Amino acid sequence: MYTQLTRKTKMILSILFSVVVFFVFLTPAHASTVTPDVVFAPNSNWNEDMIWQSNKTGRGQVFKTGASTTGFKSAALKLCRSADFTKPKTFTLCSTAVNGYYSGCQTPLASKTYSASDLNALIPKSMNCLGGNEGGPNDGIYFKWVYFTLDNVVTVTPNTNYFFLLNSSVYADDESQYVLANMYNNCNWLGSSADYTDGQTYYYADFNRRTDSEGAVCDMLFKTYSSDPNPPVFAITSPLNNDPEIRDTWITVSGTCAIAGNNRIGLTNNCEDFSNITYNIDCVGGKFSGQFYYDGLGDKRIVARDISSASTDCMDYDDQMNFISVRTIEVINGYPNDWYFNFDYYNDYDIKIKSPTFDTALTLPYGSTNAVFNFQFVYPSSSTLSNLNFTIKQYDSNSNLLNGSYINKLLSAMSDTNNYQVTLNASSTIPLHYVVQLTNSGVMKRQYPFSIYVSDLDFTSNADTTNYLFPRLVEALKKKIVFNYFFAFHDGFANMFNASSTAVNSTSLDIVFKSVSADKQYNTNIQIFSASDPIVKSFANGIRPYVTAILWLLFAIYTILRISHLFSGNSGDDK
């Protein structure tokens, strides 16, 4: 019983620990370990609307720098939003608040624009924002400290008044609904702002700075910093871990960095040796972004490293190196790059050619000008047809785009997505190449190329294929497997030696492969066989009679053996 009780106790403690860990990591971290220069966070406070439709476009705060403060980098406000932002907002530092400007001052000392998505990610959302008093120095249930940080430190004077503002910078950026509330002291309800006598908050309505009874004696809960309160961690943020990346293409690698400067960061995919990294990427505003040529060979990873890092492999010793793993895919953005049927990447989307049947190239008879193709589309049942678009692009044999919209049609406009018919042109002078693509809301889901050739050989077969002495006997014998083989070879060889044809170009049998050149362009011709070469022609003409004789001899031996077997009494199932 003791053992059972111990196991149950361990199980309960394990579950409780997991739940605690889950909630700890689920809650966004807003706290900073950096000491602020100025703090105003009284315990007696209430909430006030900060951005509310078009009549309140933002709110700002006057503050006095500390006795030894010489720089301004960031301000923290205690905020909660009840709706999503739809327009960007600008954080501005000014010498003083000025009436008549969306930006809060005519000549800002510095400003930074946050997109709607940035703000929605930064500021916690709850429909209970106006539910109670959550002031004080710590995060509340709904109201959290949110940090607005400029890209660079602004030089300021100690013991001097300044003004920061979060606002719509232009009229078009006004919100259409109540969005944001902030915490502030209780103003007239509890007397003046004795805790911060130099402070004064203003709210902006359109072009006007308002200084009503609230603005005259209220202060927002805020903190200011001369350095980044939440310095960025060195990390790759794009691509994400295990993202698919196209082989032999340039990709953009972005991330966060802690040490600002030019030519600080380099990229590689080799975790075993960092000696050959080229450090040519700048760290600006805690972020970096650079181009990296991903060849898809060797290690399937991307490594970013600061020039000062002590790392010697893919172990992060000093938080100045980061790597992610990626999946290599091989698709095309246009013919004739390498292509493969990578179903893992396409994820339940496909373009099937129901007819005609061929592999990667279709050869049409001499004199053809086009071919009719029947396409079938495969897509998840949850897909919206109006978002699915079928495109065909046409190229020549030199990889030049002839028509980027040979076909451009929404699947919703097709009468039958299981049998969509398209006529594709063919040329007797050059092979034409087509790339079929299926996109969902502009995102590529399936694509592959194929070629259409027109034969330059005009064969004429024998007019009478039943010109035998005993035609009825021949028809009867063809029902036997062995004689069917015989007459198939007989007719084939007869057509080959008796038919007439047009003259064949001397280079028709030359085989040329395209390859990627040193500048990564698919434009290098490599000839691997040339039937037009005099040496090859001389050799082929010399051995041709012997090859023909050997083939006839082998077939004669095979026929004799089959006939002997047929009349040996062990004919089996031959009928």
Q: What is the pLDDT of residue 519?
A: 56
Q: What is the pLDDT of residue 76?
A: 95
Global confidence as pTM: 0.48
How far, in Å, CA of 331 to CA of 336, rounded?
A: 10
Would you tell me which CATH number, out of the four given (1.10.10.10, 3.30.70.3420, 2.40.50.1020, 2.60.40.2550), belongs to the domain 343-454? 2.60.40.2550
Higher pLDDT, residue 56 or 280: 280
How far, in Å, CA of 570 to CA of 538, rounded?
A: 48
Do the first three CATH levels of 235-329 and 343-454 match, i.e. the same topology? yes
Would you tell me which CATH number, out of the four given (3.40.720, 2.60.120, 2.40.160, 1.10.3470), belongs to the domain 38-225? 2.60.120
Q: What is the pLDDT of residue 16?
A: 38
Mean pLDDT of 141-145: 92
Residue 119, SS3? helix
Render 233-302 in DSSP notation, one character per residue.
PPEEEESPTTEEEETTEEEEEEEE-SS-EEEEEEEES-SS--TT--EEEEEBTTEEEEEEEE---SS-EE
Name which CATH class applies to 235-329.
mainly beta
Whether a cis peptide bond, with omega within 30° of 0, leads into 88 is no
pLDDT at 108 over 80: yes
Render 531-550 in DSSP notation, one character per residue.
TTSHHHHHHHHHHHHHHHHH
How far, in Å, CA of 409 to CA of 430, rounded?
A: 27
Q: Mean pLDDT score of the chain, rounded to an integer?
A: 77
What residues does each domain of the chain span? 38-225, 235-329, 343-454, 511-566
Q: Give strand ranges (E) for 136-260.
A: 144-155, 161-167, 178-185, 200-205, 208-210, 222-225, 235-238, 243-246, 249-256
Q: Which residues pair with 236 in a beta bridge?
A: 255
Mean pLDDT of 501-529: 61
DSSP conformation class of 367: T
- Sole residue written with tokens 């600006």: 284
- Contact in structure between 305 and 330 (CB atoms under 8 Å): no
Element (H, E) at 4: helix 2-26
pLDDT digits (tens, 9 = 90+) for 430-460: 888 888 888 888 887 888 888 898 887 665 5
Structure-token pair, residue 162: 């300044």
pLDDT digits (tens, 9 = 90+) for 325-383: 888 776 544 444 434 444 445 567 888 898 888 777 888 888 889 999 999 998 888 88
Mean pLDDT of 69-84: 93
Mean pLDDT of 545-567: 80
